[in-house]
Structure 1
Amino acid sequence: MELELRHLKTVRAIAEAGSLTRAATALGLAQPALSAQLKRIERALGGALFERGRHGVRATALGELVLERTRIVLPAVTELQQEAARFARTPRRTADRFRLGGTHGPLLGALVDRLADVAPDAQVTTCTSWSERELAGLLVEGRLDFALVGVCGSAAPPGDERLVWREIAVDPVFVMFADGHPLARGGVVDLAELAGEQWACVPGDGCFGDCFGAACARAGFTPRRMYETDTASLVHLVQVGRAVGLCRATFPATPGITTRPLAGTPLTWRHLLGWHPATQRPETAATVLALARGAHAGAAARSDGYADWLAGQDGAASHGPFHNAVQRAG
């Protein structure tokens, strides 16, 4: 006989009742039937689980071991069943429509792709903006269901305090070079080595520009020029050697461009998912958050440069802001 969950529940019931008679009553069984079932369970486990006495039953050493495991296994299985039921209900009950907002970057498309897998009948629409505050406002107004944004370092999330923001992951900021740039063939780049460069990045309304300026000041220089432009134009400026670019470590591989980490990781980028709790069920938000984290993990795994950088952290990242990225990319 193979041991089943119902057998563990029977053993627990006997231990809690303290006698076969009381346990049989609680389980709705005749005592002879319960006794026969207990003997089959004991044969399957290799020994007696209870000692009978005038005052009821007492667990043997083997019985205590089984009961100890039962206290772990049964609640875990119950929790698994509940989580699975919530996940299975989410697409049918709450995923008729997903209105997603996002800033520049690959995560929005990857999230749409993953949503299409778990909720194939749902209507998914997207809205992009360079402004994190604009996306936060659309959440407050109920015009978006979820928003993917990023903030610099430890900066506060954008928008209304009624919104819920959860961290997806933290990326180091890398530098983008044309393949022919002298520093493209190296490893980690010191920011001071780039004092004579012109720069390009995508716009935003957070503090990234100020943080970049402060990092350059610590490195002993002021940036000559910063081109703020869309992603396609940024890529072009880097490819033709007009500028070096700033990007998250998960930036996808692009022909003609090499990305390199900065020594000491002077700049970081936090990916966040936001929603309004009054308009989203907790199970829906949990599902979308899990999918967004999976999307980031996929992007990290596809980036050879990011993987090499993580491998070079010698375990230090497991205690720092990149712990989640390490786990998901590994």
Structure 2
Amino acid sequence: MAWSQSGAVALTCTKKWFETPDSVTFELSPNRHDVTFQFKPGQFSSLGFDIEGNKHFRAYSISSKPGDSSLRFTVKRVSNGLVSNHVVEQLEVGQRVEAMTPVGQFNNVDCIPQEKVLMISAGCGITPVMSMVDDWLANNAHVDIEFLHLAKSKQDTIYFNKISELNDTVDNFNLKMLLEDSSGTEYPQGVISLEWLLKLVADFHDRTIYLCGPTGFMEVVKSALEQADFDMSHFHQESFTPAESQHITDGTVTDVTQDVTSVKVMVPDFGVELDAEAGSLLLDALEKGGVPVIAACRSGICGSCKCKVKVGQVQSSSTETLTAADVENGFVLACSSQIKTDVEVALN
């Protein structure tokens, strides 16, 4: 039986181990043994964890292969991150976790590779590109793989032993690592430039490029490729992590720094009226008011927190699942909308 249903399914954590001092890998399995998980390598799933009596969802890339009987994820601790710290410190084998149907356009099925590829990642951005590589290697795909990864050190490199072994044993897998410490090739402040790309992968113009990592890192890499007149139709990057302290209006990125003032958030259908800071997320205000809004990915991708702003203004950084008609009629994604004025909101 293939996992093809929509919505969340309850799975059990069956394995967990540390990859680095601040990141763990864990596997989630179903109760039945005839279930296999079908998804496109590189996609992510929103996982729901019970923390102090509340369900909290976060989006994590799947690092296992399609057709496996379990789903594997790797999570790195985020400073003050409620869910990531819970996963690293408190998730135990035997605990239940809800998993939403995998989604995401960053994958090696929709983003078709040429015969040669360049995988560029940094930090935990290695997880979706590793899933793509595993899929190609498992299916004996004739893909020449250059794998460029940036990390602080070997000890901080997720899957370090695995990618090192692949580099030693697989002819069509070539690893290039840039490390901030003295144990590897040094590079300035974790930034990769056009000069470094030319030095490390001279034929990158002939490859399909897949990119995943921190937002600022991806922006730098993309800028370097554009500077090199790379054919961007062969460039693909993960985008479920929105940039912080920025918003996008009509395609223009601008700063949201402003004087903090108080605004009112009203949800008449639930008898809610509360004060919030201008510039804060609409989702945070709705959750504070006890409005039963569903927030799965919290990244502007899944569309579960869709709601309608009937009065007032918000500033949205994502309209990923909204149609033009939705936007025209005032629908927004609460997780990606900052409150600008007093607002009245409805969930439908």
Give the structure-1-normalised TM-score: 0.18
More helix by share: 1
Q: Which has the higher contact order (CA 8 A, sep 6+)?
A: 1
Larger radius of gyration: 1
